[in-house]
């Protein structure tokens, strides 16, 4: 159960891999908005049509599914670095990106960057940075799991080389060895709270104690791996328990994500402060999420106990 009434944004979570029940508990834990970056599907895609359907789901079905639980859903559109290595397919995907990048709810080009730091990854990273510059869009960058420090530095170098404003670039999956340089160069520093790998929430508390809250945000990623869609509110609670001032916790878990991504013009606090009432009978292309049921956690618990 939630331990405190903390309002949070999760600015990097792959809800396509989560269940509808996750949306229910996320809203109960105070998550009011999410950003879903484009990423790979766990196995190689075989044709550009699968990208087209995926991008369409991000700007359509997922936005609807989240809205049925009072959560505002935004996304980023891009060619993931892991998939950039399939160059014939990558070329086709690059033609699709401009068709989706300016749709409603798209807040950035992303997540893009490096995986193994191959020549192909670098080529399509540059092309997508150029696209973001041409369309005046923000950028969300995936830093590699291996050679993270070198990959993070190269990512920032490419942004500067192409004339992007660091204040419009979010560098994600940071850790203790990258944060200092990211902040020093004027970029936003995002941290993924992910069990077993990336950052644990106790480590994140220490980062905030050392660096404060300026241009720092946290997210869950929450993909098909062992992950937790409640990582942001749980870390917020731990920060409060560890004596971090509430204003700093709010900045790291809410305010900074809003400040960064509201630059897109697609995301405003008013989107969730005064939302329309949820209609459980609402349909998306003839499909329902709630099937006429109220999205109420207690009623769901009661039903599960009865059945």
Reported as a single tens digit per residue, the pLDDT across 21-73 is 899 999 999 999 999 999 988 888 999 999 999 999 999 999 999 999 999 99
% of the chain with per-residue pLDDT over 90 = 79
pLDDT tens per residue, range 128-166: 999 999 999 999 999 998 899 999 999 999 999 999 999
The widest CA-to-CA distance across the chain, in whole angstroms, is 61
Closest CA to 75 of 42, 108, 46, 100: 108
Segment 97-123 shows an average pLDDT of: 97
Closest CA to 259 of 217, 218, 203: 217
Binning pLDDT at 50, 70 and 90, where does residue 1 land?
A: low
pLDDT at residue 107, rounded to an integer: 98
Angle at 37 between CA 115 and CA 252, to 5 degrees: 100
Q: Is residue 3 part of a domain?
A: no
pLDDT at residue 245, rounded to an integer: 96
Q: Is residue 1 part of a domain?
A: no
Q: Is residue 2 part of a domain?
A: no
pLDDT at residue 16, rounded to an integer: 93
Q: Is residue 263 part of a domain?
A: yes
Q: Is residue 83 part of a domain?
A: yes
Closest CA to 199 of 224, 217, 214: 217
Computed over every residue of the chain, the mean pLDDT equals 91
% of the chain with per-residue pLDDT over 70 = 91
Which SS3 state, helix, strand or coil, does residue 201 take?
A: helix
Instruction: Among 7-21, 24-38, 188-202, 226-240, name the one with the lowest average pLDDT.
Output: 188-202
We report the CATH number of the domain holding residue 16 as 3.20.20.140
For CA atoms 122, 125, 129, 135, give the dihedral sign: positive
Q: For residue 304, is pLDDT > 70?
A: no
Decide the pairing of beta strands 8-10 and 216-219. unpaired
Segment 198-219 shows an average pLDDT of: 94
> Looking at per-residue confidence, does 197 or 271 come out higher?
271
| Distance in angstroms (rounded) separating the CA atoms of residues 141 and 113 | 5
Distances (CA, A) of 293 to 20, 27, 280, 297: 13, 16, 6, 11
| Distance in angstroms (rounded) separating the CA atoms of residues 140 and 245 | 28
pLDDT at residue 108, rounded to an integer: 98
Q: Is residue 99 part of a domain?
A: yes
Q: For residue 209, is pLDDT > 90?
A: yes
pLDDT at residue 287, rounded to an integer: 74
What is the number of domains present in the chain?
1
Q: For residue 305, is pLDDT > 60?
A: no
Q: Give the range of the structural domain holding residue 16, as residue numbers without chain letter.
A: 8-306
Which SS3 state, helix, strand or coil, does residue 267 take?
A: coil
Q: Is residue 134 part of a domain?
A: yes
- Taken as a whole, the chain contains a residue count of 307
């Amino acid at each position: 159960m939630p331990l405190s009434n903390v309002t949070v944004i999760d600015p990097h979570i792959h809800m396509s891999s989560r269940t509808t029940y996750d949306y229910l508990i996320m809203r109960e834990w105070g998550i009011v908005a999410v950003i879903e970056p484009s990423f790979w599907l766990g196995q190689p895609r075989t044709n550009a049509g699968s990208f087209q359907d995926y991008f369409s789901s991000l700007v359509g079905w997922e936005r609807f599914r989240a809205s049925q639980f009072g959560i505002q859903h935004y996304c980023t559109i891009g060619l993931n670095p892991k998939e950039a290595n399939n160059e014939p397919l990558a070329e086709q995907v690059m033609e699709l990106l401009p068709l989706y990048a300016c749709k409603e709810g798209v807040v950035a080009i992303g997540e893009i960057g490096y995986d193994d730091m191959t020549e192909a990854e670098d080529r399509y990273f540059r092309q997508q940075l150029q696209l973001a510059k041409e369309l005046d869009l923000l950028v969300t960058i995936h830093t590699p799991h291996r050679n993270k420090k070198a990959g993070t530095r190269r990512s920032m170098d490419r942004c500067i080389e192409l004339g992007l404003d660091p204040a419009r670039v979010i560098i994600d999956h940071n850790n203790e060895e990258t944060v200092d340089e990211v902040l020093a160069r004027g970029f936003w520093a995002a941290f993924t709270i992910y069990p077993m790998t990336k950052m644990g929430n106790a480590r994140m508390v220490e980062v905030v104690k050392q660096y404060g809250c300026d241009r720092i945000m946290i997210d869950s990623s929450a993909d098909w791996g062992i992950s937790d869609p409640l990582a942001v509110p749980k870390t917020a609670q731990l920060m409060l328990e560890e004596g971090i001032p509430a204003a700093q916790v709010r900045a790291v878990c809410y305010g900074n994500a809003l400040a960064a991504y509201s630059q897109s013009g697609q995301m405003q606090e008013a989107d969730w402060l005064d939302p329309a009432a949820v209609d459980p009978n609402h349909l998306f292309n003839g499909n329902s999420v709630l099937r006429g049921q109220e999205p109420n956690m207690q009623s769901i618990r009661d039903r599960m106990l009865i059945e």
